[in-house]
Chains A and B, each alone.
Chain A
């Protein structure tokens, strides 16, 4: 039981490049989330998916797109990376019955130069 798995763990991009951050959970959770964490800013919600087939914007969705591929997988795409998107990205999931207990991945440290 791996929990929430994120790939890659580290990534360096040049401004304007695109990439997709992958997230998968094996806990049969309904809801999945993408957060970014900047120093001193805490975690900010980018997008979330309450259930398979639905996605909604969070606090800071600009510059990102998401896909809930199936119940297990929720990907985050940066179409044209900018230095302001340098951050640590966390994926999380919650069950339908216990929505307060989020399980987080180990994070992806992204640097855009």
Chain B
């Protein structure tokens, strides 16, 4: 079946650098794409979402880009900090907009 997936399982960056986390999706019918952050021992936390009719959305230090042509989603984190170390998941709202399905996750490690 169609699903959300990730390019890389791990990413290591230097503190202060920008981070880019990628995600591939296959369900063109999804209305929203979402990024979540999960710290060790905790449940995921919402970061930012983007509607399927948008290309870019910015939040505080984060930007999400959506490329519908190649079905690709990315999360950019500016000036990465040690507190950004976590696993990041992309997710999509399903066809009926009532279920939310997640990709496998990327572990981001920020080196001091």
Which residues of A come within 8 Å of B, CB atoms?
4, 31, 33, 35, 40-45, 48, 50, 56, 58-59, 90, 92, 94, 99-107
User: A101, B42: Cβ atoms under 8 Å?
Assistant: no
**With known contacts A33-B99, A45-B100, A100-B34, A105–B43 Cβ distance under 8 A:** yes
Report the separation of the CA atoms of residues A85 and B11 in the bound assembly, to the nearest whole angstrom. 29
Name the B residues within 8 Å of A104 (CB-CB): 42-45
User: A42, B49: Cβ atoms under 8 Å?
Assistant: no
Name the A residues within 8 Å of B100 (CB-CB): 33, 45, 48, 92, 94, 99-100, 102
Tell me how many residues of B have a C-beta within 8 Å of chain A.
23
Report the separation of the CA atoms of residues A61 and B45 in the bound assembly, to the nearest whole angstrom. 24
User: A43, B102: Cβ atoms under 8 Å?
Assistant: yes
Nearest B-chain residue to A3, judged by Cβ: B43
Give 8 closest A-B pairs by Cβ, nearest first.
A104-B43, A42-B104, A100-B49, A43-B102, A50-B98, A101-B46, A100-B32, A100-B34
Name the A residues within 8 Å of B42 (CB-CB): 104, 106-107
Report the separation of the CA atoms of residues A94 and B100 in the bound assembly, to the nearest whole angstrom. 10
Looking at chain A's contact residues, the main secondary structure is: strand
Report if B93 contacts A (CB, 8 A).
Answer: yes
User: A90, B49: Cβ atoms under 8 Å?
Assistant: no
The 0/1 profile, CB within 8 Å of A marked 1, for residues 28-59 of chain B is 00001010100001111110010000000000
Report the separation of the CA atoms of residues A35 and B1 in the bound assembly, to the nearest whole angstrom. 18
Name the B residues within 8 Å of A105 (CB-CB): 43
